[in-house]
Structure formats: C-alpha cells, structure tokens
Amino acid sequence: MGPLTKVRELEARASATTSALRPADAPAPRLQNWRELYRALPNAVLRSALFAVIGKGQRARLDGTTITSQAGIALTYSGEQLDQSDLDLWATLLHLLRNHPLDQEFHTSIYALLKGLGITDTGPSRTSLKHRLLRLSSCELSIRTASFVYEGNLIKADYLEGNKPLVLGLNPSIIGLFASDQFTLVHWGVRCMLSGSPLAQWLHGYYSTHAAPYPVRIDTLHKLSGSKTVSPSKFLQLLRRALDRLALASAEHGQKFTYQIDGELVSVNKRPSPSQERHISKRQNRTVTAGKPYRHSG
C-alpha cells in the first residue's frame, strides 16, 4: 500500500467517524471566521519542528518519524519534510476555508493561491506551488495531546494538472486542532515581513502561542525549530539575527516584542493577543473565585 493510498484510507475513516458521531440534523463543523489580519494555526504545530527551519537541499524524506515538539504533544510524520514556506501555504489554505463547511469541497485556482501568498504568477511559481500542495496533501500526520488525537493529512487537493479548477478540502476531524484553547491567531503582516528568514518566522509562530512566555533554553529553541545548523555558536548568531528581525517587524506593526539572551536562556517580553488576554482573564477569574492565588503559566 502506497503512502497516498494510506492517507486516503485515513481520511475516509476519520470522515466516517466524524459523520457517525454528529446528529443527522447538526450542521457540519467549520473553522472559525477570524479577521483578515490574522491566520489561525494550531498550537501543536507551532510548538514543534513539523514545519522545520531547513535550507535549500536539506529537505528529507521522513517515514513515521517522531517530530520534536513541546512537552504534552506527541507528533509523528511520514512524507517529504515540511518547511516554513509550506506553512505559509497551509495558513493561506486554512484562511480560504475558514467558515466553510468541512464536509464540502472548496473550489479555487492556483492563481488565487499565488495571489493570496503575494507571489507573482509565473511558470516556476506554479510548479513550486503544486509541489507544496502535494507535500501537504500526501503526508501522513499523527498529533496526540491530552485533549485530542488527529490522524490524516493537512489538506485535500485535487486537479493539480493543467488549468482545471483546484478542489480543496479538509478532514473534518481536523476541527479538534482548532478548539478555543488549541490554536493561535498569528499576525499575518508580521509573518509576511519575515519572509526569507525561516528561523524568524518559526520564532514568531512559537512565541505567538505564548501569552507570557517563560525563559527558554537556546538548545531547546534549536531542537524545536528543526534547524539543521550543527554549530551551537553559529545557531546563536542566527538566533540573534532572527530575534532582531522579529522585534523590528513586530514594532512596524505595533506589536510589542523585546528579548534578552542571558547565558543559555532566551527571555521574551511581548503583548498578549486580544484572545490570549481574554483567556488569561477567564483563568484568573476562575482561580480567584476558587480562593487560590493566580499564576499565569504562559
């Protein structure tokens, strides 16, 4: 059985299970309709090396490989290794499919996707985009946390040949990755300004998932990002540049982001997103009501 056949079987099984659990008169699940300024992405993805910081020629073929991730997230992956450009595309696809019934197909075009990504429509860019779509649609992914399990691919994409309409879809069970406390709204303007710096993009996604991040070890960021830079001193140099670029891009968009490196620890001070502030407030109110001191865990 080929990997693509196995993916299709996982999709069909998950879809059948989701349909069986949903009452006949219940509406199909949908992703939330977030604002144009943001892109919604699962915390489990942003807190891992799934979309790795890799350079040209470093993409590997993975087979049931355990992906480095933050504690509490178990992630395995089969397929061509994904990078931050693939994450740009996946975020764009999710944005197109927001508020769309997950049991229905979505029709678009390669041109529309390139436009959404801010990429000029040329022959090479179309070829590159189709390769990225194939990586996202043919992979096998398993994500397990205390709250949910997801198995399947990242997108369904058909009719990639010629000028036929592009048909997109999502596995309905992917909705578990977008529960209210399981995803983050990533500022798209900041991310776009970081184009060409995959480490800065990864750091932006990672720190976006934390309202008040604790200090993190440099080697932890090295592993979680999936960077293939071998030398610790070289990675530290790249990390400083990426953090500087992230601080500048954040300031350009009115987002507070400062950092300090002290020995082996990276400390970040940032402004929580509106949704994170609401989440902190709710947790604080529940804790205070219970008569306990409140301490935010980030």
Domains of the chain, by residue range, sit at: 3-14+42-183, 190-288
Query: Domain 3-14+42-183 carries which CATH code?
Result: 1.10.10
- For CA atoms 221, 225, 226, 227, give the dihedral sign: negative
Query: Domain 190-288 carries which CATH code?
Result: 1.10.10.10
At 72 the pLDDT is: 96
For 55-191, list the strands marked E by DSSP. 61-66, 74-80, 82-83, 106-108, 140-144, 149-152, 156-158, 166-169, 183-187
Element housing 45 (H / E): helix 43-46
Q: Model-level pTM?
A: 0.85
- 8 A C-beta contact, residue 182 and residue 31: no
Indicate the pairing of strand 216-217 with strand 265-270.
Answer: antiparallel
Rounded Cα distance between 298 and 267, Å, is: 12
Query: What is the full per-residue pLDDT of the chain (298 aa) written as tens digits?
Result: 554 445 445 444 544 444 445 455 678 889 989 999 999 999 999 999 999 999 888 999 999 999 999 999 999 999 999 999 999 999 999 999 998 999 899 999 999 999 999 999 999 999 999 999 999 999 999 999 998 999 999 999 987 676 778 999 999 999 999 998 899 999 999 999 999 999 999 999 999 999 999 999 999 999 999 999 999 999 999 999 999 999 999 999 999 999 999 999 999 999 876 666 666 666 555 544 444 543 444 4
At 227 the pLDDT is: 97
Place of tokens 């205070």: 288
- For CA atoms 244, 250, 254, 260, give the dihedral sign: negative
At 20 the pLDDT is: 43
Q: Do domains 3-14+42-183 and 190-288 have the same CATH topology?
A: yes
Residue 193 CB contacts under 8 Å (≥ 6 apart), including other chains: 249, 252, 253
At 272 the pLDDT is: 75
At 19 the pLDDT is: 44
